Each structure stands twice: as structure tokens, then as C-alpha cells.
A = this chain, B = another copy of it.
Amino acid sequence: MNTSTQLRSAIRDIPDFPKPGILFRDITPVLASAPLFRAAIAEFANICREANAEKIAGIDARGFLFGATVAYELGLGFVPVRKKGKLPFHTIAQSYDLEYGSSEVEIHTDAFEKGEKIALIDDLLATGGTAGAAIKLIDQSGAHVVAAAFLIELADLGGRKALGDVPVTALVSYA
């Protein structure tokens, strides 16, 4: 089995979470398995290497699991993209639409250098709201997102459209 198939077999479907009608893809079995987690990190690392990423950004909170580990594997620095109010230094914020209402993500103003090549990592690409907002923040900092990589893509939600010209890779895609 290739890595994508192995990951797909491990990801657990949880119906009606967080609310009725939603089928949640539970990645905790991937984290619990050292070989599977290692295989996922190897795939992420390849994507970042091929894109010549110079720094890794990961989205709060599950993106931290993969993003920080990939940064470690590649010997690159890591930047957290956080929910509003969590980062203590000077920040810039970007809001994005949710099904009902909106939310905001933030980065530190000193997180990126001008022209720096950034790989953005998260566990899930759904509608692309959070990742799209993160890309806007990174662009606003003068850095450049050269790759966006996700463990899971829910392809029928069309999240890639929210990410503009950024090359997108998902290790596992659900129709």
C-alpha cells in the first residue's frame, strides 16, 4: 500500500460530529501510529523540499502537529498561524467566513522576512477559509506561499479555489 492508501485506511469516520449531518475525519489513529505519522511527515517534507520552502507555517491547532514536525525534519523555522487573541506580540489579523458568522486568524508581524518562501501546512482543507486567510496574512508580510499541503482534502467543498495561485497538495482526498 502506498502512503495515501495507508493513511486513508487509518483515518476514522465519525458521523454527526461536531453536529448532525457532518462526517468528521478523525486523524488521531494516524498520530497514534509512529510509522504512519512518519510516513505522513515524509510526504509533507517532500512537498516542502520540492517547493524550496525556507520556513514552515502551521495553522492552530492540528496544523501544529504536522507543521512543527515537518519544520524539525527539514531543519527550518516554524511559524504558528493562530486564532485571534492567542499571539502575544504585535499581530496582523485576517477574517474569513464560516457557515454562520466569521472568524479571524493572526500572525506576528515579525514572523516572516520579505521574499521568504513559505510552505503552509494544516490537517484539513475544507472550504479553504482558514488557509486562504493565512495565505493573505503571509502575502501581507511580504513573504510568499510556495506550497499549501494538507493531510486531508474534502474535494467537493472546493477549498482550492480559496487559495488562489498557491500550489495545493493533499495526502488523502475525499470526493
Please list the residues of chain A having a beta carbon within 8 angstroms of any beta carbon in chain B.
12, 14, 17-18, 24, 26, 28, 31-34, 37-38, 41, 55, 60-62, 64-66, 68-69, 71-73, 75-80, 82, 85-89, 108, 111
* Residue in A75, A77, A82 with the greatest tally of chain B CB atoms within 10 Å: A77
Taking the nearest CB of chain B, how far is it from the CB of A33, in angstroms? 6
A91 to B111, CA, bound (A): 36
Decide: B69 and A12 in contact? CB cutoff 8 A: no
Picked from B64, B65, B68, B88, the residue with its CB within 8 Å of the CB of A14 is B88
A26 to B110, CA, bound (A): 13
Decide: B32 and A79 in contact? CB cutoff 8 A: yes
Decide: B14 and A76 in contact? CB cutoff 8 A: no
| Chain B positions within 8 Å of A108 at CB level | 28
Picked from B17, B18, B60, B77, the residue with its CB within 8 Å of the CB of A32 is B77
| Chain B positions within 8 Å of A89 at CB level | 12, 14, 26, 28
